[in-house]
Structure 1
Amino acid sequence: MQLRNKPLQRRQQKRIFSKKLVTCLILTSFAIIYLDLLQPSRRILSEQKVDLSKFQIDTFPLIHSDVPTDKELLSKVKEIKGETDNEDFNEEAARIPIDQMFYMNYEKDIEKKQKMKDWLSWFLPNRGIPFYRLPLMKGLPYVCDFEDEEKCIRESGKVDTLLHLMQSNEYKTSGTSLILQDDIEVTHMHRLRVAANLVPNDWDVIRFDCPIESDNHLPNLNNYVFQTNQGRDMHPFLDYSRVMLLRNEKFDKIAEAINVLPRMELDAALSFEGINSYCVNVGIGHRFEIKKPRPIIYTFFSPLHERDRHDNMVDLWKKEWELAGFDPRILTIEDAKKNPYFETMKAEVEQVFKTDVYNAYCFYRYLAMATVGGIMSDYDTMPVYFPIEEAMSDTLVNDGKFTSFEAHVPSLISASKEEWQHVAELLTEQIPKSKSWLKSDMYLLQELGHDPSNDVDLRLAARIAPRTHILTSIPYTKGEKQKVNCHLLKNRRAIHMSHSSMSKLKKWGLTPDYDKTGLHPTQHRAKLAETFMNDFREQCMGVGKFKEIE
């Protein structure tokens, strides 16, 4: 009996051993991943130079309290050092040395990297201070004692980055190190170096220009210095560690104090009672914000008659796309005339639309867009959930291929210059070939899409998910005036408020209550469109109404 059970016991032992081995391998893998996350990223940053002239850069003072003049600052230092009567103790003598500078920077923040590199390359060479980019690590979401995972990733990453600087041999540091966040410019380095003398000689960390509240309960050593090692439980800090001066000889002491679990915010970690940390507020620089340029969207509008010179629908189009984060621009017939192909197209178009200026201009907009390239919408097409991040990309959707989001209806199209030109020429060549009863650009575009002999693919937009389609009717709920069916708008880039969609409002009895005139909705499209967009924002996005068009 025992002999028969031995093979069974061996199999059970093998299974147990296999499970232990798998568990061990899984834990080892997690450990490797964790250690890898703690290491600075080795991926090479793109060396492509960012043209910052295209960006808006705003600057803000680090503190808003009164700061001393250079003379007042030096006078205070003399008083603290007991050098009041020493005429040889000037500003140059008072400046402490800074041996190296670092700026913490995420790999994805290439604009900030460029800004810091440009500034430091100009600012530091004649001061003899080398500078280095300190790659900011991505922390972990579950190593903190607070629930905000994004904050934990950010703050634990800062602590791990500082630990790497202090504990690794990658950076050969000595003396004192100045460490900045990547949105800080120290414009008054001489003040920083002089002001470091305002703190006691036992300092380990000096932080500059801390936004300290008036009721902070921190010991005030003099008019400009606060002692900030009051313990982590106070948590009185917010952005104190934007500009830090560290003594390299105290790295081990600082590292031991901040290398604890659970991780804390860097500001709080550096406020441990065992670290001699101070904050000096004397006005040493500013913070900057880099605002990416808004993506451009175009429409084509040229008044057909003098009475059409001002169109409220165009005003609303511009206002709505601006609100969605775009830079809306209007092209005209003059832009189309800049295209060398204009006369060729005009000759063909006038064969069928000699007196129909409206339909003729619909062709010319392709030539106008071929001079600029990018995204174009009809001026009665308004954004709802357009993915702004896609529009801000350096490349157009589908690599710039002609992409119409309403099939053959050109209400919203994205294409490169070359593709706009190509389609413009195909449309021109299609005019004499077409058998359509109305040879408009819309019907000819449909014919091109059905013709396999050319490369116009009207199905390209359908391959983009999830926000692909254009809503072609105004989604008020039947039976409830001005009640928006938000579900119908969920995955829509935009809504095309065509004459047809406006007509349906009247047909379904959904004209908003303010319309007591009895006029057909298409006769006051802008007012109706604005009313709907306000209702959409209020009911589907939870934000207030826009100022109405007069």
Structure 2
Amino acid sequence: FSLNHILILIEMPQYCPTKRGVILVVASIFFLHATLMEKIESRNLIENPSFLLDKDEENDNVVTNYQPPDSSVKKPVMYTFFEPTKDKYGCCGMSHEGHNTLLGAWKEAWEDRGWETTVLTKENAMDHPDFDTLTAKLQDLHVGEYDTKCFWRWLAMATIEDDNEEGLWMSDYDVFPLQLDAEEGRKIANDRAFKSFSRHVPCLINASKHEWDRVIHLMMDQLENRRGKVSDMFMLKQVEQSLGMSGMNWSAEVADTFIYSKNITDGLFINCKHFSWMKAIHLSHAGVQKAWKLGIHPNIEGIRGPGTAIRRRGESSIQLMKDFHQQCLG
């Protein structure tokens, strides 16, 4: 029915005023519902162009060139850094159990894509000759435990021998692989230059031992002229602002939140084509909060808000990797 049809009906003489009123009420409800649904769909199409993909379009997005890791080829190593806090309640919005679950999920995800994984600790950082110097500087600046450990990981990476003349990979343990499998990792590592794949956010980096050492010293030099909060992320950004790129290569190839899209009938799904060029995904505190706000956080029993979602990132990352494999890797 159109609006003109309704007007004709209520003017017909065989309808008494009561019937005309009923027709008018029903028609009003119909048009309000139609208008509301149109606005909802329009809004979702603007915010998320993949919102209305149907099943056939989703299936077309599957990445069909996925190959299982070749067991006969030496695996590249993905390093991360983790030093447990002495606080019995954990750190950074997560319990000890939450950190361990997340670390286990990180290890499983990278190894499933053909990598070896190694967790570095404070002991590795202490092997660097400038460990005491850097730690003393950070203490003088009243830098907290969490951010101090973030600087230590750079020293730890600069102590690793790279006899194979390839760049060394490091990721945060809340970074998970999308298109970055072991084969691509080996190819990228042939270029030993400093490469950050999330710009000044140092969550996924490949560089030679020499480059790891060179860049951490550039950051240490900037501590004297710090601007605001001291963290490895902000100091890396300050290096770029003060000295230019300084031989570093930055790109934006890491998704900063969950990669789900909304479908009217089936809920959340992954639009694989949209992320076919993304190397990894960073499920940081901010990324989890963003996903919760957008309504694209996976449905995990017992997670009812962003705080719980942050504490249980390990569980949601496992679900994400499962969905990514099923929907995008085939």
TM-score w.r.t. the length of structure 1 is: 0.42
Match of residue 328 from structure 1: 117
Higher RCO, 1 or 2 (CA under 8 Å, sep at least 6)?
Answer: 2
Q: How many residues align?
A: 243
Deviations 1:162-195 (A, max 9, x none): xxxxxxxxxxxxxxxxxxxxxxxxxxxxxxxxxx
After TM superposition, list the pairs within 5 Å mapping 1:130-529 onto structure 2: 291-305=72-86, 307=88, 308=90, 309-310=96-97, 311-354=100-143, 356-372=144-160, 374-393=168-187, 396-397=189-190, 399-435=191-227, 437-452=228-243, 455-457=246-248, 460-462=249-251, 469-478=253-262, 481-520=267-306, 521-529=309-317
Deviations 1:122-144 (A, max 9, x none): xxxxxxxxxxxxxxxxxxxxxxx
Gaps of 5+ in 1: 1-288, 463-467, 543-550
Structure 2 CA distance for aligned equivalents of residues 469 and 290 of structure 1? 27
- Cα gap change, 1:320 to 1:339, in 2 (>3 Å): same
Q: Percent identity?
A: 32
Structure 1 CA distance for aligned equivalents of residues 250 and 274 of structure 2? 18
- Cα gap change, 1:518 to 1:295, in 2 (>3 Å): same
Give the counterpart letter for 1:534 in structure 2: K
Contact 2:172 2:204 in 1 (8 A): yes
Give the counterpart letter for 1:415 in structure 2: A
Deviations 1:438-470 (A, max 9, x none): 11110110111223367243xx244xxxxx711
Give the counterpart letter for 1:507 in structure 2: K
Deviations 1:193-216 (A, max 9, x none): xxxxxxxxxxxxxxxxxxxxxxxx
Structure 1 CA distance for aligned equivalents of residues 250 and 281 of structure 2? 15
Shift, 1:304, TM fit? 1.4
Shift, 1:396, TM fit? 2.4
Give the counterpart letter for 1:335 in structure 2: N
Contact 2:113 2:181 in 1 (8 A): no
Structure 1 CA distance for aligned equivalents of residues 212 and 171 of structure 2? 13
Structure 1 CA distance for aligned equivalents of residues 255 and 102 of structure 2? 18
Shift, 1:516, TM fit? 4.0
Give the counterpart letter for 1:442 in structure 2: M
- Cα gap change, 1:387 to 1:511, in 2 (>3 Å): closer
Contact 2:253 2:278 in 1 (8 A): yes
Structure 2 CA distance for aligned equivalents of residues 453 and 517 of structure 1? 43
Gaps of 5+ in 2: 1-69, 91-95, 163-167
Structure 1 CA distance for aligned equivalents of residues 180 and 245 of structure 2? 29
Contact 1:353 1:360 in 2 (8 A): no
TM-score w.r.t. the length of structure 2 is: 0.68
Contact 1:353 1:359 in 2 (8 A): no
Q: Which protein is richer in helix relative to its size?
A: 2
